[in-house]
A and B are shown apart, each in its own frame.
Chain A
Amino acid sequence: MLKHLYYRDRGTFLQSLHPAAILSYLAALLLLPLFLTHPLYLVSILLAGLLAAFTAEAAAGWCAYLTVGLWPALLLLLMNPLLSSNGHTVLFLLPPLPFIGGRTITLEALCYGAVMGMRFLAIITAFALYNTQVHPDRVTGLLSRFAWKSALLVSLATRMIPTLTRELSAAREVQQLRGVDFGTGNLRQRLQKYGWLLELLLVSSLEGSLQTAEAMQARAFGSGPRSSYLRNPVRLRDYLCSCSALAALFLSIYARVRGYADFTFYPQLGRLVDGVSGWFFYSAVMLSILLPLIIGWGWQRWPYLRSKI
């Protein structure tokens, strides 16, 4: 299960991109749902994200993130109509409930809740893609030019997690065989039992961190100005993807400022798309978002294209 959640070399198009290119694309997938509230845009971006996840063989990973993300999304969907009585189209009246009293459920509030839930899922999708498609070392490598200490810290912390997991389960097994039953006892007793494990982990990480520090010292860490090893060739595909991501961001900001990508929920649901300009901006933004996926599809299919980009 866990292995789906993290980066694994799957030889996909997105993984083959330069870290800056994939980061800009994922930034578009993350930022667009943050400043757009238009349901059509949000649905399309969510679908594009899903398409990206499926073509990048990250479906299993996405599903794992979904199991976490679905409940808050559903909660958003349900809570908004319960808490907000704005909107003109009354669907039904709820009998008085404890704490919140009687409520009017409106179509507008329900739609707004659904859109917020969708927005949340779209953001989760962007994060799922980040975790499955982006090699952490490449990002830290990218950052290390500007903030190498933070980059190194991230790397060390990342390395610690699997070690700690392994140590925790080993220590737990050992203590179980010594008669410690982690499943019984009241909350205080159980906390105490886990406290022992935590203490074990703390001591062993402290001992381990000294060893790591020593190994770093022996490899001349901090002996003067560092250089940075970046071996990420930039290809045509990286330009294409970054440009289309920037285009998507720029176009949607422009459309939002000019009111082409706005949608009115209250007091009554507005028209989905207003006029030719509305359709134009929608199509342009979606094309920019989909372009990297289309290129990726061709990259996977035609060796000729692969060799050219």
Chain B
Amino acid sequence: MALLEIEDLTYYYPERSEPSLEQINIQVSEGELLLVTGGSGSGKSTLARLLAGLIPEFYGGKIWGSYRLAGAELKGWRRRARHSAVGIVFQDPERQLVMTSVEGEIAFGLENLGLPRREMFRRAAEVMTFLNLLPLRDQFTTHLSGGEKQKLALASVIAMHPRILILDEPTSQLDPVAAADIFNLVESLNREMGYTIILIEQRLERCYHLADRLIIMEGGRIICDAAPGEAARWQLRKGLPFIPPVARFFASLSSGADSPVPLTVREGRRELQRTAPASPAPPDHLPLSTVSRSSTQKKEPLIRASGLWYTYPEGTEAMKGLSLELPPGELITILGPNASGKSTLLKLLAGIIKPQRGKILLQGQDTRGLAPSQMGRYLGYLSQNPNDYLTRDTVEEELKFTLDNFGLSDNGVCAEMMKRLALEPLRGLNPRDLSSGERQRVALASVLVTEPPLLLLDEPTRGLDYRLKRELGRFLGEIVAAGGTVVLVTHDLEFAVDYGERVVLLFDGTVVSEGPREILRESIFYAPQMARLFRGRAGNVLTVEEGLSTINGGRAYGGRSG
């Protein structure tokens, strides 16, 4: 018997005429790891809330169909029993914590269950030990990093001993190292502790292979429920994007074959070795000039930063003599671990903070003397949170607002920007009522109306699904093609190699590597999946397309080409 069974379930949010979930049928067995994915607005999060018993209890609305947990209708369960049987970890690590200290946070759920004190102590102690939170026991939750906060949220749910654990995009706000940490925990909770896990994710590179089954949602319906390998082949036929690079690569090579699709770099390298043995490694270190896609060396740099030092008021030395020259007309990605100074560098370039030593020349002009409110003429800056931009009542006013601030007249630039960013149908709406992808486009348009030569973006792909990422990448490409320069800080390696031309790797407040995107091939941590797959082989592979053309253009491959 399945642990969780959902039959013909349809759900409407209050005052909505369109269903948010339609004809949902899911069965989850004990110990399974189910991965749920889909685009923004496909109903993933609604499904998570339904599974967690928050719908309809917390949200209201109309619901049909049945949801049985361990054989009994969930409606009949007492609330306490229901919430201790199904636990959920949400997206935003900040907003789901309640108490001020780590131990208090773990205790919160246990107190709510009314457990005896001895039982609470035991559970809190065990969960803190298992998740390695003991050193942080007395810490304030405010002082924790995003990854630690998310781990704490997970710990407080596990302490309640749920039979099913639901994780709603638990890593969307985290950097790759913290995200890997969470996925490792998810794996060990599932494989070693036997937890039944339903993982809702958009970032599939690190979790696709962990899943027993993949569910893809679209428009509130489940359009695919299959094993990850099969799902990859099916998606490829349907042109869906929810496949991580390695799986996409092999599914493309053998779309009709019955052999299993390799899902991890390790499986992939074995498969490549079997079917297309590597030729003796050619000289791998091509001179940069031959791999560089544009002759940037000759151009006068747009930004020239020299010897930047910056120490925050509380004493953190974030920039340590960083020097950097960025050419115009390129898309440059800044990569690096947390606290390596990425955001500080972006703020320095934007002129929000000024270097304490060293200087920044933007188009030959020293930016140290410019107030932040003057910088907007030279550059556009998009922060991580598009909500920071939305102060007006309509989308159109939001764009005009920037122009008014700089005393510029609207010579059709607002209309053009709205057209380019597909905001025209939304022009009269309140930006706060839009979806997150739309909000980001409004924010982007609101900084681009001054037509700055430089655009700075801080983690623009955070929380975007594949489709929105592709749209953003295409739009940034257009800006660059029109002669603009885009500098973005990101943790999203695949985005960096798909759309970036130049890469700057930061570490501890200095540049450790800088050059065309091909330098990532040599990196250990920052090499994208495809580069890891092709490491030690011929060719310059960073993306799936490059991998396919290497294989198809080179020796014949064992499987049928897709």
A contacts, CB < 8 Å to B: 1, 3, 7, 9, 135-137, 140-141, 152, 155-156, 158-159, 162-163, 167, 170-171, 173-182, 196, 199-200, 203-204, 208, 211-231
Contacts and interface: CB of A to CB of B under 8 A. Distances in A.
Interface centre among A1, A174, A214, A228 (most CB of B within 10 A): A174
> Number of contact residues on B: which range applies?
35 or more
Contacts of B186: none
B184 interface: no
Contact of B111 (A167, A211, A229): A229
A176 B80 contact: no
A200 B432 CA distance: 10
Interface in B117-140: 117, 120-121, 124, 138-140
B370 to A, nearest CB: 11
Contacts of A224: 79-80, 114
B381 interface: yes
Contact of B98 (A159, A173, A203): A159
B138 A9 contact: yes
Contact of A208 (B95, B107, B139, B141): B95
8 contacts: A155-B99, A156-B98, A177-B373, A200-B391, A203-B387, A217-B57, A217-B83, A227-B113
B435 interface: no
Nearest to B447: A178
A159 B142 contact: yes
A118 B257 CA distance: 87
A178 B112 contact: no
B109 A219 contact: yes
B422 interface: no
Interface centre among B110, B313, B388 (most CB of A within 10 A): B388
Interface in B266-299: none
**Chain A binding surface SS class:** helix
A227 B120 contact: yes
B402 A178 contact: yes
A170 B98 contact: no
B406 A179 contact: yes
B98 A211 contact: no
Given A178-B401, A214-B54, A214-B58, A226 B111 contact: yes
Nearest to B110: A229
B115 A227 contact: yes
Contact of B117 (A152, A199, A221, A229): A229
B411 to A, nearest CB: 17
A220 to B, nearest CB: 4
Interface centre among A7, A9, A140, A221 (most CB of B within 10 A): A221
Interface in B151-206: 153, 156-157, 160
B381 A136 contact: no
B371 interface: yes
A173 B347 contact: yes
B352 A211 contact: no
B527 interface: no
B200 to A, nearest CB: 14
Contacts of A7: 140
A179 B373 contact: yes
B83 A137 contact: no
B369 interface: no
Given A9-B138, A179-B402, A200-B390, A220 B350 contact: no
B79 A220 contact: yes
A178 B376 CA distance: 6
Contact of B142 (A162, A171, A230): A162
